[in-house]
Amino acid sequence: MSAPATPPGKATPPGTATPPGTGTPSGNGTRPSSAALSPAPPVAMVVFGASGDLTARKILPALARLADRGVLDNGFTIIGVARTEWSDQEFRDQVAAATPDAGPRWRELTSRFAYITGEYDHPNTFDLLKSRLAEADRVDGTAGNRLYYLATIPSVFGLVAGALAKHGCSGPGEGGSFARLVVEKPFGRDLDSALTLNQQLHGAFDESQIYRIDHYMGKETVQNVLALRFANAIFEPIWNRRYVEQVQVTVAESIGVEHRGGFYETAGALRDIVQNHVMQVLALTLMEAPTSTDPDRVRDEKVKLLRAIDIPTPDEAVDKSVRGQYLAGTVDDQAVVGYRQEPDVAADSQIETYLALRLRVENWRWAGVPVYVRTGKRLPARVTEVALTFRQVPFLLFDRRTSRDLRPNSLILRIQPDEGVSLEFGAKVPGERFHLRSVAMDFSYAEEFAGSDAADGYERLLHDAMVGDATLFIRSDEVEQAWRIVDPYLVAWSEPGAGLHFYPAGTWGPHMADLLVERSGDEWRNPEIDLHLPGRPTPLTQ
């Protein structure tokens, strides 16, 4: 739902620009295809934390791809800001090292990139930044437009935002149309810190200027949830409690914490995955239809859904959750160590690497439908999916022997890595004997759109921030409501003796997680039952 952009090389005249932080759909109300992103306007992009890992691994490669696809304007440049002592040329060398496969268009743009060494709250840093921005407007044609990207550690988000406002950098430059602030997650560590951070950001920038980025929202399959639900009449009548028996969201990783042990000791699965990625996917899957594709109309419905999720008391939170931590085991035929043996992890760590929740949505559409969420590291497979399981037929004509391989109908939204959608239903097995089993009709992005030039998550979101489309970014009330949902679990787990269950690496989590769903007569849908693995219903094409 990207907004039409200013033609390359031309600044939007003052008074006719899209208001900062808002975006409008293209003329027909739809987002351009990912292979034809609209050109971005001229802009000076200031990256705080420019010498960090996130900038090198994600931001710069995404920008390089946008440049080589002709999306970035001639009036685009980057000004890096960090504590690392680099010259302009050393920064450009680092950019080149981070984007070795970039084409000539990107290399041409990088020749003008600048770098500032300085503290994030020191006046000299921002005096020099103002000077560099004025020079970029004058020499590089950035037209007074500003995009500030906070790729720093979260503890300085508010500090940097406040310093930008204090030194007169929170608005566009002379003749400019916008100044926007892109904030990386995590957006706080709990509800109180999220409220404090939002207060700090709002003291420096208007909410319409703030773009809270979550790369999950840039994934094609996450966005396709909207298309699946609201562009297909066959799904709307059954997308409710009358037909859906349960909803499951699984975010599974086969890797451990890798080199992030120190970070994980301060986060855990709830803060790292559930509060952001899971809540966003859940909101898109279960929300009501927005009245239009206007960014705020979409985000209004997401917030309404989050507000409908029951917030437990700390005592209820204990009963509705299972925390786990992986032990040594085997993943992909490789022996791996337990979490407590990972680098930078405490020998008696109580941090969860696995989490299962049972949620309840209290609205007309979903009342009484259990929503199960789980995420974990060192599970048997890397897979993210949303599964809607439908109710059984009211009366099954066929006896148990005939239908023993028949499972409930399911609609599976596969977000990664095998992106696509599957519909599972019952069919007769060919042969003289009448025997039923579950089969699957499968849609695969890789097969259907082979050769398409799809933008990845960071490409999509960086482009949208430049053109002012906030649809896929997180609004302050979304952040706060997501924390209200998960905060009771943090409170409950802070008590001495809070339960922590262990599971061998390479399994689907602790046994207590199975009991969490079995209490309601349900069971987990283990994504190892995949179209390409033994045990999954055979596609009709086979």
Q: Which of 104, 156, 132 is nearest to 44 (CA)?
A: 132
Q: What would the two tokens of residue 92 be? A: 């450009």
Burial annotation 417-443 (CB, 10 A radius, 16+ → b, else e) = ebbbbbebbbeeeeeeeebbbbbbebe
State the amino acid at position 415 in one-letter form. Answer: I
Q: Residue 376: enclosing H or E segment and its boundaries?
A: strand 370-376
Domains in the chain, CATH or no CATH each: 34-213 (3.40.50.720), 218-387+474-539 (3.30.360.10)
Tens-binned pLDDT, residue by residue, of the chain (542 aa): 444 343 333 333 333 333 333 333 333 333 434 456 889 999 999 999 999 999 999 999 999 999 999 999 999 999 999 999 999 999 999 999 999 999 999 999 999 999 999 999 899 999 999 999 999 999 999 999 999 999 999 999 999 999 999 999 999 999 999 999 999 988 999 999 999 999 999 999 999 999 999 888 888 778 888 889 999 999 989 999 999 999 999 999 999 988 888 889 988 999 999 999 999 999 999 999 999 989 999 999 999 999 999 999 988 999 999 999 999 999 989 999 999 999 999 999 999 999 999 999 999 999 999 999 999 999 999 999 999 999 988 777 676 777 677 788 899 999 888 888 999 887 777 877 787 777 789 988 888 887 666 667 899 999 999 999 999 999 999 999 999 999 999 998 887 667 899 999 999 999 999 999 998 889 998 875 443 433 344 443 33
Q: Which of 308, 301, 309 is nearest to 471 (CA)?
A: 301
Q: Which of 204, 196, 159 is nearest to 179 (CA)?
A: 204
Q: Residue 248: enclosing H or E segment and its boundaries?
A: strand 244-252
pTM of the model: 0.86
Cα 439 from chain centroid (whole Å): 31
Residues assigned a catalytic role:
277
Distances (CA, A) of 531 to 412, 413, 527: 11, 13, 10
State the amino acid at position 14 in one-letter form. Answer: P
Beginning with the edge strand found earlier in the chain, give each strand of the sheet holding 179-184 in spatial order: 114-117, 76-82, 43-48, 146-150, 179-184, 210-213
User: What totals of helices (H) and strands (E) does the chain contain, helices first?
Assistant: 17, 18
Q: What would the two tokens of residue 45 be? A: 């992009």
